[in-house]
Amino acid sequence: MKFLVVLLLAACGLTHAGKLSPSGRVLTPAFLNSFRSVAVPAQRNVNITEEFFTTEVDHFNNQDNATWNNRYLALMDHLIEGGPILIFLTGDTPLDPSMIDDGTLINEMARDLGGAVFALETRFYGESQPVGDLTVESLRLLNTDQILADVADFVTYLRRVVINNPFAHPLVTGTGLGGGLATWFRVRYPHLVDASWSSSGYIRAVYDFQEFSFGWAETAIEIGSNECYNRIFITFHVAQNLIDAGFGEILYDKLNLCSPIDSEDRIAVSYFFSVLMTSIELYTLRNGNVEDFKIVCDDITNNDFATSLEAFANWFNQQFASDDGCIIISFDQFVESLRESSTSAETSRAGERQFLYQQCTEYGWFITTDSDRQPFGQRVMMELYYEMCRRVFGDWVTPELMYRSTVRLNERFGGDNPNVMQIHFTNGAFDPWRYSSVLSPLNVYALADVIPGELAGADLGAIAEENDSTELVAVKRRLKELLASYLFPFNPR
């Protein structure tokens, strides 16, 4: 039996994540999206209900009045008269009750402030499908402006229909892409939101996101060791030399690959190295637990193996292969899986096709090895991602279009220096994604916390003094105090 490793190396170039089965092999990549989900299973609040509201398919075409039903979750337990509306934006992750249940900080805020809590699924992700398919023509309706217009309609709907208070104070928040959307919503619709909170948000579009692998390497050294970095460095450079010298069959045997590496095909070689790079980055980031870095580094620095390549191969095969399987590294097969436009396809249900489309046309965040300060060699270049976007979506995708799209998004929303107030930015000091976020205060009403010793989304959970570090508890308390003051500046609660 063969296992297809479809590690969507782009998006979230490692954003939130491929899901791993108990045996360790990759089942589906939602490109690190799963590791940001807020904690444990979703049975901690049975009063969370699934609801739908009607909004326009195309908000910017007055000649088209088509509508669709956008899915959301609601929790009204804590609402009192005059209480706020707290909205979690799911970004590129399918809706799940664990995003707002009683193990989350947003739920704790609602309890303290007497508010209602909601989670809004993004159009084209999960079960929120405006047109019923994911063809390129339909995906033209998947962009930041359309998503923010959905949120604007949602706030108005909640005030008028659900809360029955047109003056209710809204807060929007999210993590990853959701954190970016929460920021951009405050920029674009300041009259509809009183406060925003971006938790490990992707805020600055980046065409060539070479800082990601550098940030990952920083964390690997800090949590693991210099020896861990050096072993990975040696492994990838030896692998490059073997392929260049015509000895790729050594890697074919040691890494349990389903087919030899075509050393004459630059894209095939680039994709192979991206799979290796992604396997480590995905595995260490999948749970948002820094201890995973230490576990991987302990395995790779194991002195039982004569060479760094053998130590890496042992770790790789333990996590991503099995005795009767092999790893498929076919770029053609990977592309073919992403060309599927049915909403029921596995890649579509995981949000991979949709997020790649947004990367190609708006966000970038393509993880490369262009930085000299990372251990993964020099083979993963923008050429791979351009070819990926072109082959999945069509020849209309060009490098110029991809680059200009990121520039345009930053020009419209301010990049990592947006003109915004009554917002708070949080990031983990060990999270490689922090290089696309806001790490310093923008003004006295737009402050930022970088949380020592943490990866992404550490502040999403409710305060747990027995488990949280002193610094993390302090950040969560500051979040609650600041956001309450933004929501009720003249009537503190």
In a domain? residue 395: yes
In a domain? residue 348: yes
List the chain residues with pLDDT less than 70: 1-44, 321-324, 491-493
In a domain? residue 33: no
198 shares a domain with 145: yes
Q: Looking at residue 342, what is its pLDDT? A: 96
318 shares a domain with 388: yes
For residue 466, give its domain range.
49-204+415-487
Q: Looking at residue 44, what is its pLDDT? A: 67
Please give the structure tokens belonging to residue 102. 């009683």
Q: Which of 71, 106, 72 is nearest to 197 (CA)?
A: 106
Residues facing residue 53 across a β-bridge: 70
In a domain? residue 194: yes
Q: Looking at residue 321, what is its pLDDT? A: 67
Q: Which amino acid is at 231?
A: R
Q: Looking at residue 444, what is its pLDDT? A: 97
212 shares a domain with 195: no
374 shares a domain with 474: no
What Cα–Cα distance (Å) separates residue 82 from each residue in 65, 214, 256, 269, 365? Answer: 34, 47, 61, 59, 40
173 shares a domain with 101: yes
- Domain C-terminal end among 372, 390, 407: 407
In a domain? residue 314: yes
284 shares a domain with 184: no
In a domain? residue 394: yes
Q: Looking at residue 1, what is its pLDDT? A: 44
Q: Looking at residue 318, what is its pLDDT? A: 87
Q: Looking at residue 72, what is its pLDDT? A: 98
Residue 479: give its domain's CATH number: 3.40.50.1820
260 shares a domain with 185: no
SS3 content of the chain, % helix, strand, coil (to 5): 45, 15, 40
In a domain? residue 30: no
Structurally, how many domains does the chain consist of?
Answer: 2
- Domain C-terminal end among 407, 429, 462: 407
426 shares a domain with 398: no
57 shares a domain with 196: yes
Q: Where does 368-445 show beta strands of DSSP type E?
A: 423-428
Residues facing residue 75 across a β-bridge: 117
End-to-end CA distance of the chain: 59
- Domain C-terminal end among 407, 428, 444: 407
Q: Looking at residue 430, what is its pLDDT? A: 97
310 shares a domain with 293: yes
345 shares a domain with 379: yes
423 shares a domain with 379: no
Please give the structure tokens belonging to residue 350. 């995981």
